[in-house]
Structure 1
């Protein structure tokens, strides 16, 4: 798999940036960048660290945005069917920081990070569990890709 022009020059910093942006509310796929760089011969541990730290930092920035927001402001943007914000409030109350393990998930992961902040779930366990979930995801991506190298 060949990386597009510029990625070779950006290197691990580019992977960090792609991973950071993918963990915000922007629809990006850092897994493709990670896989392409692994297949291009980049050292796996460096890739793992850059992707994990970038994605974790992006997820925590989304958490911080939620923390600065308010449930009332978000309520108008949530779907009303199925309970919307109240359903997520109940999940946050029941599962708390453990939900952060799923911040890696496509589509809902960024929303989970945002809502954990909105509902003021303690940042320390959120940071730890979010990091573990994101690290596990990138470890699986590398585990799948490396035999094809």
Structure 2
């Protein structure tokens, strides 16, 4: 994973993109290495955010092309309960997009929102804001640890 730092911003972009999928990857570690290595902090945050955001949009799209019937069948959820949950999340689900940066469940949030066909514009905006906030905080913590 640390080999990605040799590719500079492209390596950070790749790590951030992959980390937003279901692959177990730590974009934060690469971001910290970039900050520690003297990369421009604003560009580092921007590249990491953009890569992670695009990865999240990819997950959203994969969910979007999925079928709700698959969830009912695979998870054995009754149709009435599934419909009730679907309606609730379609109306309020985009708020969850902000939290797509969270470990473990964050990768599933865009996938689920895509499956629910939530508003892609709001989802993209809120998810991007959450990911940006996460990388700003992470870069700041890295700088504090270095100094």
TM-score range, shorter chain: 0.7 to 0.9
SS of 1:41 mapped into structure 2: coil
1:31 Cα shift?
0.6
Structure 2 SS opposite 1:109: coil
Checking the alignment, whether the CA contact within 8 Å between 1:92 and 1:99 is kept in structure 2 is no
Runs of at least 5 residues in structure 1 that lack an aligned partner in the other structure: none
Paired with 1:87 and 1:144, the residues of 2 have a C-alpha distance of: 41
Aligned to 2:94: 97
**2:16 counterpart of 1:15:** no
Q: Secondary structure at the match of 2:107?
A: helix
For residue 79 of structure 1, report the CA deviation from its aligned partner: 8.1
Consecutive unaligned residues in structure 2, runs of 5 or more: none
| Contact 1:97 1:121 survives alignment (8 Å) | yes
Q: Which residue of 1 aligns with 2:134?
A: 137
The counterpart of 2:26, out of the listed 29, 37, 41, is: 29
What is the TM-score normalised by the length of structure 1?
0.85
- 1:41 Cα deviation (Å)? 1.4
Contact 2:86 2:116 in 1 (8 A): yes
Query: With structure 2 as the length reference, what TM-score do the two structures score?
Result: 0.87
State the alpha-carbon separation in 2 of the partners of residues 91 and 28 from structure 1. Answer: 31
